[in-house]
Chains A and B, each alone.
Chain A
Amino acid sequence: MTKDIEGRWAALTAQFPPSAPGRPADSGDDVRPGQVREAIWGRCEATVLVVGVDDDAAEVTVNPVSLEPGVADVNALVLEGEDSPLRGRVAIWPNVHATMSFIVLHDVVAELREDVTHRVLSGAHKTRAAGFGHGDSPRFGAMPLPASGAAIAFNRLLDSIDELALVRPQRSQTPKTHQTIKFPLSLSALMETLGITQAVAMSVIKGQRELTLDQAEAVANVAGVPVADVLAAARPLPDDLERELMEPRWRAVIRARAGTRGEAGAREELGRSAFALAARGKGSGRELWRQRIQAMLAAEDA
């Protein structure tokens, strides 16, 4: 790179400090309408505006969002200046809705002001896309020309939204994802240790039947492993824990741990670890599981 180009880069980049305005400091926020979030699954990603939340189903209704200049059409609402939650403009398509699982959501990118959210959701926000590049049409408004960069970007956005909307979680009750932690005793040893039938022992190993704490301690003594590991291997994860693990606040941790086995495996393992930690703890509920996961991760970081 020549010195001249280096100088021009330096002058340009100096205008952009690394922090982004509008980005909430706490990315552990609950999912709520008005948040602009990244949705990502594999190599497919899109920016979305959360417009509805079904907390029980852990699903959101979203509108597609583009931060790319020029990517807009007559159906887009473009938030600029003070209305934009970011430095640049934000184009939203309120006429395109998709339902996505929480598990594809990542951090909050920005959050619309309450009054802007209200206007967007109620359809009262009338700022339409300004003209752009090749597709400037004073009479008909913004219409990306076929095969233009803007048209390709818009198609890619809608295609990604389609793909992301197909992703659904694999629950750990299903045989496919259960039992990532191997039961520490063989079938015959378990039958002998607890004096139970083969059918009962099989269902314990498959995670379909819970052990009492006394039984788990007996198994732990024979196998020479901590009792928490026995409990973690033998019991399906509580629904509240599974649900909590679908919150985007854990997504970065899960993605970082996923490696080649995929996110479902990493999520299950995180849950098992939290579950093992809480084996002797009392209480349940998502808030409690959140605290336990946080504590476990903090302990790992320490």
Chain B
Amino acid sequence: MLLRVFNSELRRFPGLAEIDTAEDLALEFFADRATSYVDAVLATPDDEAATRRTRQWARHWLIDRVRTTPYGALRHRLEKRLQRSPLFRASAVANHWFREGEEDMDRVASFDEIHTAATDIRVDVFVDAGGRVVLGKTGQLEEMLLAVLKLSGRLHIADLTYLCAQRFPSVLEDGDWLTARHSTAEIEDAEDTHSNDAFVQAVEQTTDSRSAQDIFALLTEAERLALRFGDDRREVASRLGVGRSTAYSRIQSAKARLVELAGDRTRARQVMGDVLRLILDDDVAVPSIQVEGA
């Protein structure tokens, strides 16, 4: 049954199917989760429910598997960037970083406060001539990290990676507009990719002037719907054909995507009205949209 499920689920993950067989992935999944998986399947009342649960667990595992490479790449590139910049220093505590010239200590701040600080700083995300995702023009990402560390004090690289993954959701998603041209979703930093090439300059200019129309075009149908009815979780749930909890999650993700595309929170607020007008003009009142992973 497990093999049958993996054979079927793997069709949703073409990137993985190119490098792994269903048999190998099923084996790896079983080796990874066997104890809990056996518990969970034995808990189900019949074969149909057992298959349904297996399918869900396999899909969750495959989603994370797809995101492992870009997440690891993000952490690696962040570390490189911190090491290279004179603005940051490695803490006496392993894997922690703090602002040069400040004390190597923790400060009290909630995740929400730190995340807000990160979204307040303008960081333009774009794809360079080589199809690589670039997090910010020169100095933008550093400025964001400085703002974060000012509030949090020293921070573990895992926290910084997590924060950036929240701030730049496209980086982890396979096949979206940012990573579609790069199967391993390698994350390049601006210094590596900012040659003087005319294409990059053109891209930067495009990013600067990314209009509500551009942002609208980059949003998925489900994201537009989540933004349109963002104040009404039940409406989003009903229109997307999902539960309230999933709907809430979709709304939050759509808002995060909007901030990412607009560059920062202030700009996202400014374009939100325009984007909503475009959404209404586009009449997205689709009765029900089934989204992957629903």
**Residues in A lying within 8 Å of B, measured CB to CB:** 1-2, 5, 8-9, 12-13, 15-16, 18, 20, 23, 36, 38, 40, 43, 45, 47, 67-71, 86-89, 106-107, 109-110, 131, 133-140, 143, 145-156, 158-160, 162-163, 251-252, 255
> Which of B38, B44, B53, B162 touches A145 (beta carbons < 8 Å)?
B162
B43 near A155: Cβ-Cβ < 8 Å: no
Q: Does B130 contact A (CB under 8 A)?
A: no
B38 near A137: Cβ-Cβ < 8 Å: no
**Residues in B lying within 8 Å of A, measured CB to CB:** 3, 23-24, 27, 30-40, 42-46, 49, 52-53, 56-57, 59-64, 67-68, 71, 106, 111, 152, 155-156, 158-159, 162, 165-166, 169, 172-173, 242-246, 248-249, 252-253, 256, 293
B52 near A146: Cβ-Cβ < 8 Å: no
B243 near A9: Cβ-Cβ < 8 Å: no
A162 near B245: Cβ-Cβ < 8 Å: yes
Q: A1-B23, A12-B27, A38-B43 are in contact. Are A146 and B59 (CB under 8 A)?
A: no
CB distance from B137 to the nearest CB of A (A): 25
A134 near B71: Cβ-Cβ < 8 Å: yes
B36 near A137: Cβ-Cβ < 8 Å: no
B67 near A88: Cβ-Cβ < 8 Å: no
> Which of B31, B37, B155, B243 touches A155 (beta carbons < 8 Å)?
B243
**A to B contact number (C-beta, < 8 Å):** 166
**Minimal Cβ-Cβ distance residue in A for B245:** A158
A40 near B49: Cβ-Cβ < 8 Å: yes
Q: A8-B27, A16-B38, A67-B39 are in contact. Are A147 and B57 (CB under 8 A)?
A: no
A20 near B39: Cβ-Cβ < 8 Å: yes
Cα-based distance from A47 to B36 in the complex (angstroms): 13
Cα-based distance from A153 to B293 in the complex (angstroms): 9
- B42 to chain A: which residues have CB within 8 Å? 18, 20, 23, 109
- B interface, by DSSP: helix, strand, loop or mixed? helix
**Minimal Cβ-Cβ distance residue in A for B40:** A67
Instruction: List 15 A-B residue pairs with CB atoms under 8 Å apart, sorted by A's residue number.
Output: A2-B23, A12-B31, A13-B30, A15-B34, A38-B45, A69-B32, A86-B39, A109-B42, A134-B64, A134-B68, A137-B158, A140-B111, A147-B169, A147-B172, A162-B243
B60 near A153: Cβ-Cβ < 8 Å: yes
CB distance from A257 to the nearest CB of B (A): 13
- A88 to chain B: which residues have CB within 8 Å? 35-39
- B34 to chain A: which residues have CB within 8 Å? 12, 15-16
- A interface, by DSSP: helix, strand, loop or mixed? mixed
- B162 to chain A: which residues have CB within 8 Å? 134-137, 140, 143, 145
**Minimal Cβ-Cβ distance residue in B for A141:** B111
Q: A12-B30, A67-B40 are in contact. Are A156 and B56 (CB under 8 A)?
A: yes
Cα-based distance from A23 to B45 in the complex (angstroms): 13
B252 near A159: Cβ-Cβ < 8 Å: no
**Minimal Cβ-Cβ distance residue in B for A45:** B49
CB distance from A3 to the nearest CB of B (A): 12
> Which of A107, A147, A154, A158 touches B45 (beta carbons < 8 Å)?
A107
> Which of B38, B49, B60 touches A20 (beta carbons < 8 Å)?
B38
- B52 to chain A: which residues have CB within 8 Å? 43, 45
- B256 to chain A: which residues have CB within 8 Å? 146
Cα-based distance from A268 to B277 in the complex (angstroms): 54
A134 near B60: Cβ-Cβ < 8 Å: no
> Which of A8, A87, A154, A163 touches B39 (beta carbons < 8 Å)?
A87
CB distance from B93 to the nearest CB of A (A): 10
A159 near B246: Cβ-Cβ < 8 Å: yes
> Which of A20, A138, A140, A149 touches B61 (beta carbons < 8 Å)?
A149
> Which of A87, A148, A255 touches B35 (beta carbons < 8 Å)?
A87
- A89 to chain B: which residues have CB within 8 Å? 36
CB distance from B168 to the nearest CB of A (A): 11
A9 near B43: Cβ-Cβ < 8 Å: no
- A71 to chain B: which residues have CB within 8 Å? 60
B159 near A146: Cβ-Cβ < 8 Å: no
**Minimal Cβ-Cβ distance residue in B for A255:** B45
CB distance from B177 to the nearest CB of A (A): 15
Chain A to chain B: the 3 pairs with minimum beta-carbon distance, closest first: A159-B243, A149-B60, A88-B36
A155 near B249: Cβ-Cβ < 8 Å: yes
B45 near A106: Cβ-Cβ < 8 Å: yes
